[in-house]
Amino acid sequence: MNSSVKLSLLLLLSIISLGSFAQSWDIGGFVGGAAYMGDLNPVNPLKVNNLAFGAQVKRNFNPHWSLKLNFVKGKVEAYDGQSDSEQQRIRNLSFFSPVNEISLQTEFNFFKYVPSFSRKRYTPFLYAGLGMVTFNPKTIHSDGNTYELNLLGTEGQDFYKPYNTYALVIPYGGGVKYNISGNWSLIAEAGYRTAYTDYLDDVSGKYASPASLVVPNDPQTTRLRQELADRSVGKVGVPGTQRGDFRTKDTYMFVGLSITYSIFSQKCPVVE
């Protein structure tokens, strides 16, 4: 048997093997926590402080590879006044924002894993993907009111053209899957998201000059923009100096547990 025939047979067997598991789908839900790392939290990557919820639909191509459509809803926030850094406490900025993410993720199982069919009942896994996140940074002013920061342009942006409150996002992370019973799996996972925006927290560039924050014929909005642009103790935010850090993208993470149910349209053999 020549090498080309051997290669053809090998490819055919691989396709047949792949087809044995091509009818597997998972559906499930997620609950956990949300964290943020950016201009208002530059050093603590695991500062989880809010709940997150989600749902997923997954197509399993074989015991190692799958493609998942994932939706997660959470909230991120940070407050300079609670920071260990004196410089941040003086800066005194704060924000909170909902985050709603939808993404497509590719998962890779280190072990062959098919709930109720594979000999191993668990596997570590990694994932990466591409998605979209919506957000809306807000803050509570000293007057007790809550304001949407993107509508104010606190860094001197064009008042009439607010920055986008959606962005491309790259999710990546990993975890462990465990077959708890029959077609049911319990999944522990943690993953970061790199968002292609530096305005998740409304902080990106430099302190704006008071003149650039003037809204013609609207002294009340002008005053509000100027007050929220520099909330520092002693008003030390010198125009033109750095307001945030030098990173150009904010990040956030989700950590938690998923429960999924596998659906097979045909009986699978035992997987070694």
Q: Mapped to the 3 state alphabet, what secondary structure does the chain carry?
A: CCHHHHHHHHHHHHHHHHHCCCCEEEEEEEEEEEEEEECCECCCCCCEEEEEEEEEEEEECCCCEEEEEEEEEEEEEEEHHHCCCHHHHHHCCEEEEEEEEEEEEEEEECCCCCCCCECCCEEEEEEEEEEEEEECCEEECCCCCEEEHHHCCCCCCCCCCCCCCEEEEEEEEEEEEEEEECCEEEEEEEEEEEECCCCCCCCCCECCCHHHHCCCCCHHHHHHHHHHHCCCCCCCCCCCCECCCCCCCCEEEEEEEEEEEEEECCCCCCEC
| pLDDT for the residue numbered 246 | 87
Q: What is d(CA 109, CA 177) in angstroms, rounded to the nearest whole number?
A: 9
With cut-offs at 50, 70 and 90, classify the pLDDT of residue 15. Answer: very low
- Could you please state the CATH topology (level 3) that the domain comprising 23-264 is classified under: Porin (2.40.160)
With a cut of 90, say whether residue 52 has pLDDT above it. Answer: yes
Computed over every residue of the chain, the mean pLDDT equals 90
Burial of 211 (0-12, 13-18, 19+ CB in 10 A): exposed
> For 154-204, what is each residue's pLDDT tens digit?
999 999 999 999 999 999 999 999 999 999 999 999 999 999 999 999 999
Q: What is the pLDDT of residue 16?
A: 44
Tell me the per-residue pLDDT of 60-106, one tens digit each, with 9 for 90 and over: 999 999 999 999 999 999 999 999 999 999 999 999 999 999 999 99
Residue 108 pLDDT > 90: yes
User: What is the pLDDT confidence band of residue 268, given thresholds at 50, 70 and 90?
Assistant: low
Model pTM score: 0.87
Return the amino acid letter for 130: L
Which whole number is the average pLDDT over 105-127?
Answer: 94
Rounded average pLDDT over 142-146: 94
- Tokens 């547990």 locate to 257
**Residues 204-254 pLDDT 10s:** 999 999 999 999 999 999 999 999 999 999 888 999 999 998 889 999 999
Given a cut of 80, is residue 37 above it in pLDDT?
yes
- At residue 216, the pLDDT reads 95
